[in-house]
Structure 1
Amino acid sequence: MQKALITRLIALTFFFYTGDKLHSQNTELVLPGDFKGSIFAGDISPNGKWLATGTSVGEVKLWDLISGKQLKTFKNDSDMTVKVLFSPDGKQVLSHWPLILWDRTTGLRQYLAKDEDPFDFCFSPNNKFIYISAAKNKELLIIDRVTNSITKRVPLFDNPYCIRVSADGNLLAGDMGSEVWIWNTTTWEVIEKIPDEGAVTKNKFNFIPGTNQLLIQTDKKIINWDYKKHVAQINYPAQNGYFTNFALIPGTKQFVTSSSDSLFIYWELSKNKPIRKEKTNFYTDLLLIDPEGKKIVYNDYFGREVIVANIDNFRKLATLGGSTQPISSLDISSDGNKLAILNKKYIRIWDLNQQKNIVSIPTHLNYVYSVRFSPDGKYVAYGTPRNDIIIADIARGDEIYRLTGDQRIINSLAFSPDNKLLASGGEDSSLYIWDLEARKPIVIQKKLHSPPHSMSFSSDGMLLAVAHWIPFISLYDAHSGTSIKQFNGTIGPIETIHFSKGDRRLYFDMKDSVIRYWDIVTDKWGSLTKMDMHGIRSSIIEPERNLFISGDENGNLIFQNGSSDLQIKSKPHANNITSLVLAEKQGLFISSSTDNTVKFHNLKTGELVATLLLVDSIDQFLVLPDNNYSGTKRAISMVNFRKDNVVYPFEQFDLQYNRPHEVYKALGVKDTALLTVYKRAWEKRMKRAGIKEEDFTSNIHVPQIRLLNEDNIPANTNSNKLTLQLNSTDDTYFLDHYKVLVNDVPIAGRDLRISGQKSHENTDSISIELSNGLNKIQVSVNNEKGTESPYVTTYIEYRPNAPTPAPATYFIGIGVSNYKDDSRTLRYADKDIRDLAALFKSRYPDLKIDTLLNKKATKENILQLKEKLSKTKVDDRVIISVSGHGILSDSLDFYYATYDMDFEKPSQRGILFQELEALLSDIPSRKKLLLIDACNSGEIDKEDPLASSKASNPCKDLKTYNSKGGKMSKSSETTTSTSQNSFVLMQELFADTRKSNGAIVISAAAGSEYALEDSKWKNGVFTYSFKKAFQENPKNYSVGQLKEYLIQSVYLLTCGRQKPTVRVENLEFNWNIW
Structure 2
Amino acid sequence: MKSRKHFNRCAIAILAALTIIFSSAISHLTAQDIETVVQIGHSHILGLEFSPDDKAIATIGGEGSIKLWNVESGQEYRTFEGDGSVDFSKDGKYIAMGSRYFKAYVHDIQTGERAFEFEHQNDVPYISSVQFSESGRYLATAARGAANMWDLTKSQLIHAFYDPAIYVVNLKFSPDKKSLAGSGAEGSVIVWDWMSGERRHLFVTDSALTSITFSPDNRYLAGLTNAGMLYVWSLETDQPVHTISMAASPIKAFTYSPNGEYLVTVNAANKIHFWDSQSGNRTATELDNGFAGSAIRFSNSGEYFAIGGDGVSLWHASDNRLVRRFISQVKVVEAIAFNPKMPYIAIGGRKGARIWNLKTAQLMTSLDIATGYIYTMAFSSDGKMLAIGETDGNITLWDWKTGKQIRALTGHSNGIYSLSFSPDGKMLASGSADNTVRIWNPDNGQQIHLFDEYDGGIFAVRISPDGKLMGTAGKHGSVRVWDIKDHLPLLSLNLPQNESLYAIDFSSDSKEFAYGNAHGQVDIWDIQYGEKPTIIQTDRIWITSLHFSSDGKRLLISTGDGRCMIYNRSTGETIISGEKQPQTLTAASVSGDGKYMAIGGWDGKAKIHDTTTGDQIASLVAIGEKDYISITSDFHYQASKNAHKGVAFRVDNKLYPFEQFDLRLNRPDVVVETLGYGSPELVKAYHQAYKKRLRKMNFTEEMLGSDFHLPEISLHSSKIPLTTTNKQLKFQLRAVDNLYNLDRLHVYVNDVPIYGSSGLDLRSRNTQSIVEQIELTLSNGRNKIQFSVVNQRGAESLRETFETVYTGTQAPADLYLVTIGVSQYQDERFNLEYAAKDAIDLETLLSGNSGTFQNIYPIKLLNSEATLENVLNVKKNLSKSRVDDVVVLFFAGHGLLDADLNYYLATTDIDFRNPAENGLPYEMLEGLLDGIPARKKLMMIDACHSGEVDRDETILAAKTNIVDNNVKVRSFRGLEVIGLKKKVGLSNSFQLMQNLFANLNRGSGAMVISAAGGEEFAYEGQGVANGVFTHSVLVGIQQKSADSNGDGQIVVSELRDFVTAQVKTLTGGKQTPTSRQENLEFDFRVN
Residue type of the alignment partner of 1:408: N
- Partner SS for 2:1065: helix
Deviation at 1:762, TM superposition (A): 3.1
The 5 A counterparts of 1:765-784 are 765-784=773-792
Does structure 1 residue 425 correspond to structure 2 residue 425? no
- Rounded to whole Å, the distance in 2 between the matches of 1:112 and 1:537 is 26
- Partner SS for 2:899: coil
Checking the alignment, whether the CA contact within 8 Å between 1:938 and 1:1007 is kept in structure 2 is: yes
What is aligned with 2:799? 791
Output the aligned Cα RMSD.
Answer: 5.0
What is aligned with 1:19? none
User: Relative to structure 1, is the Cα distance of residues 25 and 133 closer, same or farther in structure 2, using a 3 angstrom cutoff?
Assistant: closer
Does structure 1 residue 733 correspond to structure 2 residue 740? yes
The 5 A counterparts of 1:955-970 are 958-959=966-967, 967-968=975-976
What is aligned with 2:950? 941
1:351 to 350, 357, 372: 357
- Rounded to whole Å, the distance in 1 between the matches of 2:510 and 2:96 is 55
What is aligned with 1:371? 377
What is aligned with 2:332? 326
- Rounded to whole Å, the distance in 2 between the matches of 1:133 and 1:267 is 32
User: Relative to structure 1, is the Cα distance of residues 978 and 100 closer, same or farther in structure 2, using a 3 angstrom cutoff?
Assistant: closer
Q: Percent identity?
A: 27
- Rounded to whole Å, the distance in 2 between the matches of 1:154 and 1:1062 is 65
- Rounded to whole Å, the distance in 1 between the matches of 2:471 and 2:129 is 49
1:386 to 382, 392, 396: 392
The 5 A counterparts of 1:674-1073 are 674-709=682-717, 712-749=719-756, 751-753=759-761, 758-800=766-808, 803-844=809-850, 846-945=855-954, 958-959=966-967, 967-968=975-976, 972=979, 975-976=982-983, 981-1030=988-1037, 1031-1032=1040-1041, 1033=1043, 1035-1073=1048-1086
- Partner SS for 1:901: coil
Give the TM-score of the pair, scaled to structure 2: 0.82
- Partner SS for 2:1068: coil
Deviation at 1:717, TM superposition (A): 0.8
Checking the alignment, whether the CA contact within 8 Å between 1:42 and 1:54 is kept in structure 2 is: yes
User: Relative to structure 1, is the Cα distance of residues 396 and 519 closer, same or farther in structure 2, using a 3 angstrom cutoff?
Assistant: same
Checking the alignment, whether the CA contact within 8 Å between 1:781 and 1:789 is kept in structure 2 is: yes
- Rounded to whole Å, the distance in 1 between the matches of 2:731 and 2:823 is 50
Checking the alignment, whether the CA contact within 8 Å between 2:27 and 2:710 is kept in structure 1 is: no
- Rounded to whole Å, the distance in 1 between the matches of 2:980 and 2:161 is 89
Residue type of the alignment partner of 1:927: K
- Rounded to whole Å, the distance in 2 between the matches of 1:587 and 1:118 is 39
Deviation at 1:678, TM superposition (A): 1.6
Deviations 1:299-320 (A, max 9, x none): 35xxxx6566899999995344
User: Relative to structure 1, is the Cα distance of residues 202 and 617 closer, same or farther in structure 2, using a 3 angstrom cutoff?
Assistant: closer
- Rounded to whole Å, the distance in 1 between the matches of 2:954 and 2:736 is 43
- Rounded to whole Å, the distance in 2 between the matches of 1:101 and 1:582 is 35
User: Relative to structure 1, is the Cα distance of residues 107 and 778 closer, same or farther in structure 2, using a 3 angstrom cutoff?
Assistant: farther
- Partner SS for 1:217: strand
- Rounded to whole Å, the distance in 1 between the matches of 2:567 and 2:953 is 50
What is aligned with 1:596? 604
- Partner SS for 1:908: coil
- Rounded to whole Å, the distance in 1 between the matches of 2:439 and 2:234 is 62
What is aligned with 1:299? 309
Deviations 1:120-177 (A, max 9, x none): 65899xxxx889786999999999xxxx99xxx99999899644667xx899884587
Checking the alignment, whether the CA contact within 8 Å between 2:946 and 2:1013 is kept in structure 1 is: yes
User: Relative to structure 1, is the Cα distance of residues 81 and 663 closer, same or farther in structure 2, using a 3 angstrom cutoff?
Assistant: same
Does structure 1 residue 662 correspond to structure 2 residue 665? no
- Rounded to whole Å, the distance in 1 between the matches of 2:772 and 2:304 is 33
2:38 to 23, 31, 37: 31
1:338 to 340, 344, 353: 344
Deviation at 1:864, TM superposition (A): 0.8
Deviation at 1:181, TM superposition (A): 8.4
Give the TM-score of the pair, scaled to structure 1: 0.83
- Partner SS for 2:375: coil
Residue type of the alignment partner of 1:597: K
Checking the alignment, whether the CA contact within 8 Å between 2:362 and 2:630 is kept in structure 1 is: no
User: Relative to structure 1, is the Cα distance of residues 715 and 247 closer, same or farther in structure 2, using a 3 angstrom cutoff?
Assistant: same
Deviations 1:23-51 (A, max 9, x none): 5543333222377x996542246897642
Deviation at 1:458, TM superposition (A): 4.6
User: Relative to structure 1, is the Cα distance of residues 437 and 667 closer, same or farther in structure 2, using a 3 angstrom cutoff?
Assistant: closer
Deviation at 1:242, TM superposition (A): 7.4
Residue type of the alignment partner of 2:912: F
- Partner SS for 2:420: strand
- Partner SS for 2:917: helix
Structure 1, 901-910 or 443-452: larger mean CA deviation: 443-452
Deviations 1:932-959 (A, max 9, x none): 1110111111122168999999996x43
Checking the alignment, whether the CA contact within 8 Å between 2:960 and 2:973 is kept in structure 1 is: no
- Rounded to whole Å, the distance in 2 between the matches of 1:375 and 1:99 is 45
- Rounded to whole Å, the distance in 2 between the matches of 1:916 and 1:205 is 62
User: Relative to structure 1, is the Cα distance of residues 228 and 673 closer, same or farther in structure 2, using a 3 angstrom cutoff?
Assistant: closer
Does structure 1 residue 13 correspond to structure 2 residue 35? no
The 5 A counterparts of 1:546-565 are 546-559=553-566
Deviation at 1:518, TM superposition (A): 3.7
Q: Which has the higher contact order (CA 8 A, sep 6+)?
A: 2
Checking the alignment, whether the CA contact within 8 Å between 1:237 and 1:272 is kept in structure 2 is: no
Checking the alignment, whether the CA contact within 8 Å between 2:96 and 2:105 is kept in structure 1 is: yes
Deviations 1:220-250 (A, max 9, x none): 3112456788754542336599765323578
User: Relative to structure 1, is the Cα distance of residues 715 and 904 closer, same or farther in structure 2, using a 3 angstrom cutoff?
Assistant: same
Deviation at 1:373, TM superposition (A): 2.3
- Rounded to whole Å, the distance in 2 between the matches of 1:602 and 1:514 is 23
Residue type of the alignment partner of 2:943: A
Deviation at 1:603, TM superposition (A): 4.8
- Rounded to whole Å, the distance in 2 between the matches of 1:135 and 1:931 is 61
Checking the alignment, whether the CA contact within 8 Å between 1:703 and 1:789 is kept in structure 2 is: yes
Checking the alignment, whether the CA contact within 8 Å between 2:958 and 2:976 is kept in structure 1 is: no
Checking the alignment, whether the CA contact within 8 Å between 1:181 and 1:194 is kept in structure 2 is: yes
User: Relative to structure 1, is the Cα distance of residues 465 and 52 closer, same or farther in structure 2, using a 3 angstrom cutoff?
Assistant: closer
Structure 1, 997-1006 or 472-481: larger mean CA deviation: 472-481
- Rounded to whole Å, the distance in 2 between the matches of 1:660 and 1:142 is 48
Structure 1, 174-183 or 218-227: larger mean CA deviation: 174-183
Residue type of the alignment partner of 2:265: V
- Rounded to whole Å, the distance in 1 between the matches of 2:536 and 2:199 is 64
Deviation at 1:342, TM superposition (A): 1.4
- Rounded to whole Å, the distance in 1 between the matches of 2:862 and 2:1010 is 19
What is aligned with 1:673? 681
Checking the alignment, whether the CA contact within 8 Å between 1:512 and 1:534 is kept in structure 2 is: yes
Deviation at 1:706, TM superposition (A): 1.7
- Partner SS for 1:204: strand
- Partner SS for 1:386: coil
Structure 1, 852-861 or 830-839: larger mean CA deviation: 830-839
Checking the alignment, whether the CA contact within 8 Å between 1:832 and 1:1023 is kept in structure 2 is: yes
Q: Which runs of 5+ in 1 are unaligned?
A: 17-22
Checking the alignment, whether the CA contact within 8 Å between 1:495 and 1:539 is kept in structure 2 is: no
What is aligned with 1:20? none
- Rounded to whole Å, the distance in 2 between the matches of 1:877 and 1:773 is 15
User: Relative to structure 1, is the Cα distance of residues 807 and 708 closer, same or farther in structure 2, using a 3 angstrom cutoff?
Assistant: same
1:68 to 68, 74, 93: 74
User: Relative to structure 1, is the Cα distance of residues 977 and 32 closer, same or farther in structure 2, using a 3 angstrom cutoff?
Assistant: same
- Rounded to whole Å, the distance in 2 between the matches of 1:314 and 1:383 is 44
Residue type of the alignment partner of 1:717: T
User: Relative to structure 1, is the Cα distance of residues 425 and 236 closer, same or farther in structure 2, using a 3 angstrom cutoff?
Assistant: farther
What is aligned with 2:12? none
- Partner SS for 2:49: strand
- Rounded to whole Å, the distance in 1 between the matches of 2:839 and 2:160 is 81
Deviation at 1:1019, TM superposition (A): 1.9
Checking the alignment, whether the CA contact within 8 Å between 1:729 and 1:762 is kept in structure 2 is: yes
- Partner SS for 1:367: strand
- Rounded to whole Å, the distance in 2 between the matches of 1:892 and 1:940 is 8
Deviation at 1:184, TM superposition (A): 14
- Rounded to whole Å, the distance in 1 between the matches of 2:309 and 2:258 is 20
User: Relative to structure 1, is the Cα distance of residues 981 and 113 closer, same or farther in structure 2, using a 3 angstrom cutoff?
Assistant: closer
